[in-house]
Structure 1
């Protein structure tokens, strides 16, 4: 209370008020939303993957936002945009890949368009008729990469297929194409992946792939040759026709052959280079084995003889023709056509044991050939194929001493005239020239004159002289017929004319003699002349029907 007795006034308590401003919980909602959006965006960017650029030669089937990029039918990305290059020669597609595909975008990664394709190798991409065209991705190795060039065609062999690749060198591509099969003993073991032309030596390089587990069949001594698909063979059983599969007929093929150990050598390394031969015979002739070369010269023409033709000994192959060329001898001013042959001792089996397990060497083979030459071994050209006219070299044994044929003095082995049809024709031509040189016209004229003299002078004293001349003429004609051993059309024609004239003349002579009834001896002579003329006619008719009788004699 106060001094005046008044009560003391009451003051309200002081309240401590904080001046710091508090954050409202309502503001936390936008912050949380921003954080969630940022996290989702970061996850989207992380899952989105890298962006790549693929260059195509054509834009067929490519649509921005719709064309997918797949691997084993699983989506890995999508084409975002498609545009032309600045020079309008290519199509550039920008694609967004998934995060899982980012680590597989390497230098060896390949892309190509999968669409329905119809070719000789078959039909592919039929599933895209329903699902639509897409881009296939095949992962590869190497450094990271973001720009790629798409393949024009799908690869024949995928990168994940085990096996080995090899390179074949050939002069011509022939019927081979991408996807052509590779066979080993009739079993397909691989395919042709592709080919290219070498600008250096202008040869064709064919890439082949042999799948596992067959890649071990390719050794250093292996041989490759083309498979034509169709084979004709002619033997004692007749003609044989053999074909491969329809795929080989359409695309061609390659045949792989590996000799037995130890001739096969070591296993071939990846991308080893081999020669692609035209056929099996060429591949067999190219084997690394001993060859002993001889120089031969044949009389006459060597038309039809080519390098690679077989060399036969009594019908069995003992070598091959290495070269056929023409040489000019300036000293003697003569042209020679030497034929080089290679004799292969591996083709000749010996009946006695080989010393120290060593094969026949060159010195042994030359000694063997020299012994056989002393026994009468001679070489000649023979027809290898009557249809194509190809020839070969054949050795056989001829009885009697060897008489060198002119023009073959420089031959290392003795040769003789060929026995084929061409040589027979040539010999017949020489004989015809000799026959043409004979006084055949004078002989026929004498015969006709003699017969006319007999007809007009049947009762004259000159009859004896005419008959003697006639006998001489007939004897000459008979000798000429005995010497003719080839088909002589001109001679047959002349004999027919002689027989016709003689028959007419003798008929006249018979009529004349019939009026003289007292000349019995002369009538008998004329009958003999009539029989001789008839014999000439019969002979001419027979030779006209059977000209081969001049070569083989009269058939039974």
Structure 2
């Protein structure tokens, strides 16, 4: 009984202590802080990337317009080990930015056609940048782009270009108008049906107003080297186009502006500005030129000229639209060349329609009947580039063929080198017909007769002098004496050492020496007529002898 009374008494002594409030308050504060932290956190998103180069969990930040909006909290491999799964904790209030068109990419040091970017990450490290979305539903899974997006706004005009014979350009390559940067390549594709490379080009405002249905697009190579009739041309554009190439566009010379175009209008992309300019001439007359001489140096794109003025363009050398039977059906083998006459080069843009083109056709037929012929000429002797030259010929060769494989034949004549060879051959033939032996014999007789005449004059002069010295002669009237004196002086001038006789004798001796020196040259021309054009066999260098 005594022990039970003690326990009851101890229980009555237990009372509530205020110190117990401290842990209770601490628990409540910790709970409130956990709730605040949970409530202040934004959503968790997943980024799928080929690799996680430069990213670290707990360190890499996510920014939008250089403002921190999240942080990477986890990086792992996908179940198939093909991609990296990056988990990002977004800040509170960023839910509206996470839509289907939101873009994410890694910012790090890059060297590209736009220059050097991302240098600030050398010290701070790489980070993830984002472009907030505006369309579509909210999403929590995105693909991490390997490159920054070119544009996120639907501005300007988009053009579709198709290239058949040029190398591929990269996405982001620049578009220029007279050297100004006005756009870029947004997308590159390949059309398997036509075998062409396709480009989707964006022309930014306000330059999109320059694009009309009359413009031409061509590739800007950056660095180009061209050898043509005009000589060697080296062209270097801007540094951007030098690194990756680009596209330019513009109107042709003398061409009026066209109408504005709609989005995704198709244009042809030419390989060069020259090709684009040549394509402007749509009213043409095509001919086949049959040459029986060497066509080396004549290439597609070469000039067709009339007395130095370009009136056309060579299309194909040799013309491939023929068969072997067609070639072997002629008396002499010929090389067919397809070219076209472009009247618009002479008459600006006034040539339009079949009626106007037919007038040019009739004019050419009339001039051909008058002797207009085509021949090959060397347009530039540095690179041996040739052109087709049209001009009138005296006694032109007759027209043997009027049509060739469906094309009208333009009559041709011998080229300029063949004309030179013919003229040299005629000169050599005339020299060969000259009776050199008889000429030299006759010249020798003439020189002998001249010497005899001089001796006779000398004898007469001595006789006259003796006559004048006689006393009877001195007794003649003064006038007669003066006449005899002048006659004596005249005869002395014709002597071998006189003022007239000495130059005459020297000239005759020089003429004889020159004819003797000319004999080896004439003998060489008779044996080898082409010496005037081609060098003779080179002489071996003299080998010095060793000292004794």
- CA spacing shift, 1:35–1:85, aligned 2, 3 Å: same
- Mark the runs of 5 or more structure 1 residues left unpaired by the alignment: 1-25, 436-476, 484-494, 496-527, 552-556
What residue is the counterpart of 1:329 in the other structure? 325
Q: Give 1:239 deviation, angstroms.
A: 7.1
- CA spacing shift, 1:77–1:304, aligned 2, 3 Å: same
What residue is the counterpart of 2:309 in the other structure? 316
- CA spacing shift, 1:296–1:30, aligned 2, 3 Å: same
Instruction: Judge conservation of contact 2:161–2:268 (CA < 8 Å) in 1.
Output: yes
User: Structure 2 residue aligned with 1:537, among 520, 535, 542?
Assistant: 520
Residue by residue, what CA displacement relative to the aligned partner does 1:268-321 show, whole Å, maximum 9, x if unpaired? 333333222111111112236322323332333444434333322222222223
What residue is the counterpart of 2:130 in the other structure? 137
Residue by residue, what CA displacement relative to the aligned partner does 1:74-107 show, whole Å, maximum 9, x if unpaired? 1222222111122322211122223443223233
CA distance in structure 1 between the partners assigned to 2:37 and 2:245 by the alignment = 52
Instruction: Judge conservation of contact 1:379–1:413 (CA < 8 Å) in 2.
Output: no
CA distance in structure 1 between the partners assigned to 2:119 and 2:63 by the alignment = 16
Instruction: Judge conservation of contact 1:175–1:251 (CA < 8 Å) in 2.
Output: no
**Greater CA deviation, 270-279 or 128-137?**
270-279
Secondary structure of 1:204's counterpart equals: strand
CA distance in structure 1 between the partners assigned to 2:32 and 2:329 by the alignment = 101
User: Structure 1 residue aligned with 2:57, among 51, 59, 64?
Assistant: 64
CA distance in structure 1 between the partners assigned to 2:298 and 2:232 by the alignment = 24
CA distance in structure 2 between the partners assigned to 1:175 and 1:214 by the alignment = 25
CA distance in structure 1 between the partners assigned to 2:430 and 2:342 by the alignment = 53
- CA spacing shift, 1:389–1:109, aligned 2, 3 Å: farther
2:284 corresponds to 1:291? yes
Instruction: Judge conservation of contact 2:290–2:335 (CA < 8 Å) in 1.
Output: yes
CA distance in structure 2 between the partners assigned to 1:177 and 1:350 by the alignment = 37
User: Structure 2 residue aligned with 1:392, among 387, 411, 415?
Assistant: 387
What residue is the counterpart of 1:182 in the other structure? 175
What residue is the counterpart of 2:397 in the other structure? 403
CA distance in structure 1 between the partners assigned to 2:101 and 2:433 by the alignment = 87
Instruction: Judge conservation of contact 2:165–2:271 (CA < 8 Å) in 1.
Output: no
Q: Give 1:112 deviation, angstroms.
A: 1.1
What residue is the counterpart of 1:419 in the other structure? 415
- CA spacing shift, 1:272–1:480, aligned 2, 3 Å: same
CA distance in structure 2 between the partners assigned to 1:170 and 1:331 by the alignment = 34
- CA spacing shift, 1:192–1:549, aligned 2, 3 Å: same
Secondary structure of 1:103's counterpart equals: helix
CA distance in structure 2 between the partners assigned to 1:379 and 1:146 by the alignment = 74
Secondary structure of 1:346's counterpart equals: helix
CA distance in structure 1 between the partners assigned to 2:518 and 2:173 by the alignment = 72
Residue by residue, what CA displacement relative to the aligned partner does 1:488-528 show, whole Å, maximum 9, x if unpaired? xxxxxxx9xxxxxxxxxxxxxxxxxxxxxxxxxxxxxxxx9
Instruction: Judge conservation of contact 1:64–1:80 (CA < 8 Å) in 2.
Output: yes
Counterparts of residues 493-508 of structure 1 (less than 5 Å): none
- CA spacing shift, 1:252–1:262, aligned 2, 3 Å: closer
Instruction: Judge conservation of contact 2:209–2:260 (CA < 8 Å) in 1.
Output: yes
What residue is the counterpart of 1:204 in the other structure? 197
2:242 corresponds to 1:244? no
- CA spacing shift, 1:65–1:425, aligned 2, 3 Å: farther
2:330 corresponds to 1:346? no
What residue is the counterpart of 1:300 in the other structure? 293
Q: Give 1:72 deviation, angstroms.
A: 1.0
Coordinate RMSD, CA, aligned: 4.7
Counting matched residue pairs gives: 432
Q: Give 1:259 deviation, angstroms.
A: 4.9
Q: Give 1:193 deviation, angstroms.
A: 4.0
- CA spacing shift, 1:99–1:420, aligned 2, 3 Å: farther
Instruction: Judge conservation of contact 1:120–1:247 (CA < 8 Å) in 2.
Output: yes
Q: Give 1:126 deviation, angstroms.
A: 0.6
Instruction: Judge conservation of contact 1:327–1:337 (CA < 8 Å) in 2.
Output: no
Residue by residue, what CA displacement relative to the aligned partner does 1:161-183 show, whole Å, maximum 9, x if unpaired? 84333333224664844443322
- CA spacing shift, 1:409–1:428, aligned 2, 3 Å: farther
Q: Give 1:391 deviation, angstroms.
A: 3.2
Q: Give 1:115 deviation, angstroms.
A: 0.4
Secondary structure of 1:412's counterpart equals: strand
Instruction: Judge conservation of contact 1:53–1:146 (CA < 8 Å) in 2.
Output: yes
CA distance in structure 2 between the partners assigned to 1:550 and 1:327 by the alignment = 37
Residue by residue, what CA displacement relative to the aligned partner does 1:132-190 show, whole Å, maximum 9, x if unpaired? 210111234334333222221223x2314843333332246648444433221122222
Instruction: Judge conservation of contact 1:297–1:407 (CA < 8 Å) in 2.
Output: no
- CA spacing shift, 1:92–1:481, aligned 2, 3 Å: farther
Instruction: Compute the TM-score of the two structures, normalised by the length of structure 1.
Output: 0.64
- Mark the runs of 5 or more structure 2 residues left unpaired by the alignment: 1-19, 437-510, 535-548
Q: Give 1:111 deviation, angstroms.
A: 1.3
User: Structure 2 residue aligned with 1:369, among 364, 368, 371?
Assistant: 364
What residue is the counterpart of 1:225 in the other structure? 218
Counterparts of residues 523-534 of structure 1 (less than 5 Å): 534=517
Q: Give 1:213 deviation, angstroms.
A: 1.1
CA distance in structure 2 between the partners assigned to 1:387 and 1:235 by the alignment = 10
